[in-house]
Chains A and B, each alone.
Chain A
Amino acid sequence: MPQVTLTVNGKRHTVEVEGRTLLVELLREKLGLTGTHVGCDTSQCGACVVHVNGDSVKSCTMLALQADGASVTTIEGLAKPDGTLHPMQEMFREHHALQCGFCTPGMVMSAIDLVNKHPEGLTEAQIREGLEGNLCRCTGYHNIVKAVAAAWPLMHGKTMPAAAE
């Protein structure tokens, strides 16, 4: 079986996988990182989003072998070692942006990438559009949108520009 070597949440792993093994299967089944979820089989729901070399990626859409040499961050790798949550996680809690919790890891990973890539600020419409690849059946997205907007100033260390249109 072919081998893949990758860094996950700062830790290097070398794993034997079948050619058809998906990145999400490697994370969940080989590395026991079950925080990343699988909610569909057509790359529509976004429950499996992780960061690969800093970009959000649906890990059900990528073969494990394609991640050879990559640095992957999952939901388990966001909090500091002392348990301090990432500002996005903290704002999800503050704004009740999760209910059953199943879409939450993918939603948080997508939201972090969205905020990172918009240092100029984000409107509500942009946040909604930016999260279009992640399905949530519980919250109606209302509080998720609030949480993302609230995380922006914490992540960029300044107030959100008012005229971000």
Chain B
Amino acid sequence: MGFEGIGAAVKRKEDARFLAGRGNYVDDINRPGQVYAYIKRSDRPHARLKGIDTRKAAAAPGVLAVYTGADLAADGVGGLPCGWQIHNKDGSPMAEPPHPVLAVGKVRHVGDPVAVVIAETKQQAKDAAELLEIDYEDLPGVAASTDAIKPGAPLVHDDVPGNICYDWHIGDKAAVDAAFARAKHVVKLELTNNRLVPNAMEPRAAIGECDVTGNYTLYTTSQNPHVIRLLMGAFVLHIPEHQLRVIAPDVGGGFGSKIYHYAEEAIVTWAAGKLRRPVKWTAERSESFISDAQGRDHVTTAEMALDEQGNFLALRVSTLANMGAYLSTFATSIPTYLYATLLAGVYKTPAIYAEVKAVFTNTVPVDAYRGAGRPEAAYLLERLVDVIAHDLGFDRIELRRKNFIPPDAFPYQTPVALQYDSGNYQVTLEKALQAADFAGFEERRRQARARGKLRGIGVSTYLEACGIAPSAVAGALGARAGLYEVANVRVNPTGDVTVFTGAHSHGQGHETTFAQVVAERLGISIAQVDVVHGDTGRIPFGMGTYGSRSLAVGGSAIVKALDKIIAKGKRIAAHLLEASVDDIEFKDGKFTVAGTDKSKTFAEIALTAYVPHNYPIEELEPGLEETAFYDPKNFTFPGGCHVCEVEIDIETGTPKVVNFVAVDDIGRVINPMIVEGQVHGGVAQGIGQALLEHAVYDSQGQLLSGSYMDYVMPRADNLPSIHVGTESTLCTHNPLGVKGVGEVGAIGSPPAVINAIVDALRDYGVRHIDMPATAEKIWSIIQAHQPRMAAE
């Protein structure tokens, strides 16, 4: 066995089944006697639901039942809950209108579930749904947050005036106003952060099942099965938690979109109880586009006050955040505590004030998507810094260096609540500039121009916060959930180990990286470690995977449990070796009496624990299995620098990323191969956001980019090879010193790309361009400036 511990680029354990086509995704599961649900969804953005005639559908071949919102209401089924209560500036709570599982009274977005047809086959259910007669009275709709707040705008929820969910703020307004009053310069930028569709490649799916004793099982495509069990059991279906098992087996990507408790999970579980048959639902991609929570959608005005030398004095931000038609599970926390708290970024801006209005519209609900609030903050800051440099004539790199939080300033308290524990933004900047040959760029620009291309380079120096914590602080800010993680480490009698983790892997490779952590600590091979996740029937109550928390929070819980295992092992070894427990050392898989050659292997201690013939039974229980819950003291704070180089074809406006460098400080690296893969994927999504992807609605709320023919996903030929570098300043408050890598790529890259596009177009009078910077948009800019260029 070669080195497999922390830092080794070992190949993934999970690959064997995926490569052989033996993965076990929800849609691969079929239960005996299973029937199929087809969900009839609203095809209009806003309408009164005057009546649903289900008779023809119910009489169609193979149909077992047709249910509507009235059936659920009659059975006492609750609405889908929101997990974070935000308070308005005046201290009052946010508007929190009901979110029925099946629409009642009105439909509020295209895709809003109206009825469910359950039949013996999928085709029969779908055919029967065509026979539903739904009497709609169309109402005017509103899709853009900027329209929804206008006087007289249609009300998405009749009892939510002005469509305002909340009007929230953070920071010291008076200090910011004072700094603006005395500032030498003020630079203002208005920008949007385009709405995205997460598009995990596996569409969501769910199977509900109920046995004769009333015990329920839900198989679902979830990033956090315990959260689903709690929300659905306690708030929606009122099933006692001990009678509800939620299994999230192999899950084909999440990116945030599979965190939330969705209506379909409740529908199939409830219907399984009614029909006493397993009920299966699998989304078609067209349904995913109108039912998976979407991401981003901010409209923002940002202003920076500066002194003469270019020192940032104060930042003022005002953002409209589109919530969509209903509050998704964690929607309300994203544009507040995961966005506005990040507005210091990597800069020592002494005063910051941000206000955020969250707005209801007749669109698909918006919630966390890879990065969740932090990409919006990084994009705002890194665009603003480039615009400041452009407007005032500063060098964009020097301006960043001048305003960086210096490496000796940690721990650093920002003016927007967060305290950064560690970081070194200078070093990631220098490494990235070097790897990108920033110094040699102007020559490449000249060469490109000779080939009819406009070449630009862009830099972003971003910060993120991972592993949202601690629970008590989040609770004080309105979170309705804990933010710890759990691990149960079960040492089997022969010395191999099963780890039950509350974190969930849907591509991250936990079966490998968590095994590496265990292998390193216990001195065994990763082949001897099995990592189990995604089943509330097997795992203690955990919180799942989101916000780049798996290793920082879930990994720390594993380490805590391992510490308990080793402590107990030492006591068993002390007994066997007739030594004092204080003299026992554990290293490389052996318990040794310090200074002697007397030792016992880990496997011998494990066996003794389960065959306690010679055992300190008076003072120690048999067995070797420990559980630990870990509630972090703080977020972790990765940061780094992304450099993007683009070329634009002058004739067509087509942009192409020709070089991309990411240097990320993610703390200690467990598996560099997996880390690079995470960065590649995040950067691809960031380039997608910057150049290609956009969920476009018409003014009423009809989604115009509702399939892969209209919504442009990054494909292999849209992307470059990506140079990944890492830098490790260790997290100071978790036992592994890890920070998190899942989202850095998606956070750091969009501003680097847009900064490069704007740089490429610098001779065309461009100060800012909104995402996505499509060929059409760029071509129009080039055309509009042709006369001026020709005249010069």
Contact = CB atoms under 8 A, between A and B. Distances in A.
Q: Real complex partners, A and B?
A: yes
B201 A94 contact: no
Interface string B24-38: 010110000000000
B660 to A, nearest CB: 10
A39 B202 contact: yes
Interface stretch (A63-71, A121-129, A150-158): A121-129
> What secondary structure prevails in chain A residues at the interface with B?
loop
A96 B714 CA distance: 19
Interface in A63-108: 74-76, 78-79, 85, 89, 92-94, 96, 98-105, 108
Contacts of A35: 20-23
Contact of A101 (B23, B708, B709): B23
Nearest to A42: B707
Contacts of B88: none
A137 B23 CA distance: 17
Given A37-B25, A45-B201, A89-B20, A141 B708 contact: no
Given A37-B202, A76-B20, A100-B200, A137 B12 contact: no
B681 A99 contact: yes
Nearest to A124: B721
A92 B285 CA distance: 26
A36 interface: yes
A133 B285 CA distance: 16
B498 interface: no
Contacts of A45: 201, 285, 708
Contacts of A120: none
A38 B27 CA distance: 9
Contact of A139 (B19, B22, B28, B681): B681
A98 to B, nearest CB: 6
B708 A93 contact: no
B716 A132 contact: yes
Interface stretch (B259-267, B385-393, B502-510, B777-785): B502-510
A33 B21 CA distance: 8
B252 A101 contact: yes
Nearest to A89: B19
A137 B506 CA distance: 12
Contact of A135 (B509, B677, B708, B721): B708
Interface in A110-165: 124-125, 127-129, 131-132, 134-145
B19 A138 contact: no
B715 A100 contact: no
Given A40-B708, A102-B253, A137-B253, A96 B677 contact: yes
A35 B685 CA distance: 26
A96 to B, nearest CB: 5
A132 B717 CA distance: 6
B19 A44 contact: no
A76 B680 CA distance: 28
Contacts of A7: none
Interface in B266-320: 284-286
Nearest to B720: A142
Contacts of B251: 100
B716 A74 contact: no
Contacts of A96: 11-12, 673-674, 676-677
Contact of B683 (A98, A103, A140): A140
14 contacts: A33-B21, A34-B28, A36-B21, A42-B708, A42-B709, A47-B201, A100-B506, A100-B507, A101-B18, A101-B507, A102-B201, A125-B717, A129-B717, A142-B719
Given A78-B20, A99-B508, A137-B713, 12 more contacts: A18-B123, A20-B123, A35-B22, A39-B203, A47-B201, A75-B21, A89-B19, A93-B15, A128-B717, A136-B716, A140-B719, A143-B680
Interface of A: 18, 20, 28, 33-42, 44-45, 47, 74-76, 78-79, 85, 89, 92-94, 96, 98-105, 108, 124-125, 127-129, 131-132, 134-145
Listed from nearest, the 10 A-B pairs whose CB atoms lie closest are A35-B21, A102-B252, A101-B18, A140-B684, A100-B507, A44-B708, A75-B21, A99-B507, A140-B680, A34-B28
